[in-house]
Amino acid sequence: MLKYIIRRLAMLIPVLLGVSLITFSLIHLIPGDPARSMLGEKASQQQLELLREEMGLNDPFIVQYGRFLGHIAQGDLGTSIQKKEDIASQLMEKLPATMELAIFAMILAVIIGVLAGVVAAIKQYSWFDNLSMTGALFGVSLPIFWLGLMMIWLFSVKFNILPPSGRLTAGVELNSITNFYLLDSILTGNWTAFKDAFSHLLMPGVALATIPMAIIARMTRSSMLEVMRQDYIRTANAKGLKKGLVVFQHALKNAFLPVLTVIGLQFGLLMGGAVLTETIFSWPGVGRYVYLAVLGRDYPIVQSAILVIAVIFVLVNLLTDLLYKYIDPRIKYN
């Protein structure tokens, strides 16, 4: 097992190198001049030239790439162009926001998706099965940015019961420890902040959860159906074991394996899918950070942030694989 993990980790190195090379070269092909972004419309040609030289933008590509890798190796993700901020610390501040949103969405998706899938499978062809599977199909077909806008219109404009944007209402005090606001408010016993943070999380969470929820529900259903046709379930049923016991102790346990893979994959995708959701709900996370940086031509942010997200994505997938293999002894580590 340990050997397998090491091998998998070693395989990550070329992938991540490739990722960094692709990101770096993509970013450098982007038209637009970062020096101009910094100085704005009231700068002279000389001012621009001076700054380009200072920032090393006039060096050959390979030199710039080498410098980039060198810095990353030291844990230095660079400095943003516009605000001159340390990108690593910016990301550390914004990652919790995205993670909180993604985890919340995933919990929502897993609970509802798995339950719906199990029930649909047990009562195959029932009205519930039809309804939930139609719902799941609707779920994967919905444009989430539209869903988000519609929810804002309904819950913020029409009924005014949920806040349309942000993570916390201005004026609500919260001592941040982990920057996961729900966790922080529980740790500090600050229930006003908890309610406020939760109400901010609800709409973007649901919007983000829609697609994985649908996929998980469908995966659970088909996986359950397959397992329930297996002999040992039939035997269990024949032995007269309680139906609930059979379903949860035997069937779901085995049916859960493929579902787990889907969950891992979807969780990684959520990190990226957050771009649209975070943009609509002004959620101060990594997705919006990258999107704004793309618009602002802030090269260093874009390349570092995409790299970090890719690393997380790859690690989550690896973790899922390992977990999968750990749980299911039928798979060999070869």
Q: At what angle do helices 252-280 and 87-122 cross, to 10 degrees?
A: 130
Residue 3 CB-density burial (10 A; 0-12 exposed, 13-18 middle, 19+ buried): exposed
Between residues 115 and 237, which has the closer beta carbon with respect to other proteins? 115
Taking residues 19 to 58 in sequence order and writing x for each that binds other proteins by CB under 8 A, - otherwise, the string is: x--xx--xx-xxxxx--xx-xxxxxxxxxxxxx-------
Give the torsion through C-alpha atoms of 155, 161, 163, 164, to 10 deg: 20
Task: Restricting to residues 168-227, name those near other proteins by CB under 8 A.
Answer: 169-172, 192, 195-196, 198-199, 211-212, 214-215, 218-219, 222, 225
231 contributes a contact to other proteins by CB under 8 A: no
Residue 287: left if φ>0, alpha if ψ -120 to 50, beta else—which one?
A: alpha
Q: Which stretch binds other proteins (CB under 8 A): 1-9, 64-72, 139-147, 238-246?
A: 139-147
269 contributes a contact to other proteins by CB under 8 A: yes
Q: Which stretch binds other proteins (CB under 8 A): 1-9, 61-69, 232-240, 277-285?
A: 277-285
- The size of the interface with other proteins (CB under 8 A), counted in residues, is 116
Nearest alpha carbon to residue 209 among 136, 261, 160, 159: 136
152 contributes a contact to other proteins by CB under 8 A: yes
Q: Which stretch binds other proteins (CB under 8 A): 56-64, 66-74, 135-143, 239-247?
A: 135-143
Q: Which stretch binds other proteins (CB under 8 A): 60-68, 70-78, 230-238, 246-254?
A: 246-254
Q: Tell me how crowded residue 168 is: count the other CB atoms within 10 A of its CB.
A: 18
Between residues 101 and 306, which has the closer beta carbon with respect to other proteins? 306
| DSSP states along 1-35 | -HHHHHHHHHHHHHHHHHHHHHHHHHHHHSSS-HH
